[in-house]
Amino acid sequence: MQITEINKQKTRIPIYLQIAENLRDRILNREFLSGTFLPSEAELAASFKVNHLTLRKGLKVLRDQNLIIQQQGRDNFVTYEPQQELRIGFVCQPSTIEHERYTSILLSILIKQLMNVRGNIILISDDGKTKKEVLEQVIENRCSGLIFPSYSKKSSKLFLSEELSSIPSCLLSSSEIPVKNRNLCTIGLKPGQIFKAAEYLLALNHKRVAYISYEEKEFYNLTERNREFFESNIPEKLIYIGKDGIPWRLFAKNVMYQIAAMPAEQRPTAVICSGIAFAAGAWIGALEAGLKIPQDISLISIDSDLQSFPEMTAIEQPREQFIEKCISLLNEAVLSGGLLKPERYIFESTLVERGSCRAI
């Protein structure tokens, strides 16, 4: 058997995980076929130049990923079989009202686009689940690929985990990923959505602009958007960033009550909302407080919910293109029985005018 070099000096990756990754790649690439046995543990240990305890820790990773089982004493039997049917696991974020709408919009797009290919959707809950419990859902439902709809601290523990590294995965994120998973592609936006909204309002002669967002370390995109507004060229900034746990929609609604109560000469002429939930609350709050949109105040959002607010001007993410790219990548991985290359695909956001902003 060919000797396989394991880097014991120049990497922080434990040796047993390097062994697991090496064997996993060879299984996924059909070097070791389903229904056959891996070389004996003695042969593998000699090949990797490791002791039996280290080897067995690596083999346990493969068993946990449902790639092999142990039979006949210490022989390891390959069970991985490439699927021809696309079974996409859609990993749900914690079920709070603030994120359900964005997630449900992506999910509806996924359902619509999967009608054109042979595929199924399985909802994988990560709400209060350990990595092992999520992996059990993935294996039980025979998921051939995963989609993570957003990048948060919680989701990063999953999509960067060794437990899920055998499953081709796509992450929708505008942020750079600090660690590269060999079976993970990221799909995101070119930075600058808030800058784009600010420049649009400046072109309409708005000089005093309010910004509604949240200080939420769990969701990296909000941190980036907040930074962009601080650095924007708006001459007079009124910044409303919540941080005390109040629901996002309610927070934005209350902010609009405060704005409506200001003397007209101090009131901002426009508001930028950093996401769908803030825009929904701001729209409702403005109307309830007696402000007309856009006559009394202009409103622009990052993303929109056209079903509820069809007149919202927004900097839109190309969500249909995101999902189309995810399906294409995962389908290619399923058909080839191979791995996804750790590539990042960047799309451009688009300003869509629908009537909620006016020139002054």
Mean of pLDDT values over 151-164:
71
Instruction: Please say if the pLDDT value at position 10 is more than 70.
Output: no
The answer to whether residue 290 sits within a structural domain is yes
Residues 207-226 pLDDT 10s: 999 999 998 777 778 889 99
The answer to whether residue 129 sits within a structural domain is yes
Domain of 254? 193-316
Low-confidence winner among 78-92, 101-115, 187-201, 254-268 (lowest mean pLDDT): 78-92
Low-confidence winner among 74-88, 223-237, 239-253, 321-335 (lowest mean pLDDT): 74-88
Mean of pLDDT values over 45-57:
91
Whether the Cβ atoms of residue 347 and residue 188 lie closer than 8 Å to each other: yes
Specify the pLDDT at position 146. Answer: 92
Mean of pLDDT values over 156-184:
75
Instruction: Please say if the pLDDT value at position 163 is more than 80.
Output: no
142 and 221 share a domain? no
CATH of the domain at 126: 3.40.50.2300
pLDDT band at 4 (very low <50, low <70, confident <90, very high): low
146 and 225 share a domain? no
- What residues does 186 pair with on adjacent strands? 171, 344
154 and 110 share a domain? yes
Dist CA 210 CA 286 (whole Å)? 13
Specify the pLDDT at position 216. Answer: 76
Instruction: Please say if the pLDDT value at position 88 is more than 90.
Output: yes
Q: Which of 52, 78, 104 is the last residue of a domain?
A: 78
For the ranges 194-203, 325-334, 338-347, the maximum mean pLDDT occurs at 194-203
Specify the pLDDT at position 97. Answer: 40
Which pTM value belongs to this model? 0.75
Low-confidence winner among 69-73, 154-158, 354-358 (lowest mean pLDDT): 154-158
Low-confidence winner among 254-258, 288-292, 301-305, 311-315 (lowest mean pLDDT): 301-305
Residues 60-69 pLDDT 10s: 888 888 888 8
266 and 296 share a domain? yes
Considering only residues 207 and 148, tell me which one the structure prediction assigns the higher pLDDT. Answer: 207
pLDDT band at 9 (very low <50, low <70, confident <90, very high): low
The answer to whether residue 244 sits within a structural domain is yes
Q: HEC string of the chain?
A: CCCCCCCCCCCCCCHHHHHHHHHHHHHHCCCCCCCCECCCHHHHHHHHCCCHHHHHHHHHHHHHCCCEEEECCCEEEECCCCCCCEEEEEEECCCCHHHHHHHHHHHHHHHHHHCCCCEEEEEEECCCCCHHHHHHHHHHCCCCEEEECCCEHHHHHHHCCCCCCCCCEEEECCCCCCCCCCCEEEEEECCCHHHHHHHHHHHCCCCEEEEEEECCCCEHHHHHHHHHHHHCCCCEEEEEEECCCCCHHHHHHHHHHHHHHCCCCCCCCEEEECCHHHHHHHHHHHHHCCCCCCCCCEEEEECCCCCCCCCCEEEECCHHHHHHHHHHHHHHHHHHCCCCCCCEEEECCEEECCCCCCCC
323 and 184 share a domain? yes
Residues 119-141 pLDDT 10s: 889 988 877 778 788 888 888 88
End-to-end CA distance of the chain: 76
142 and 229 share a domain? no
The answer to whether residue 325 sits within a structural domain is yes
Considering only residues 148 and 291, tell me which one the structure prediction assigns the higher pLDDT. Answer: 291
The answer to whether residue 8 sits within a structural domain is no
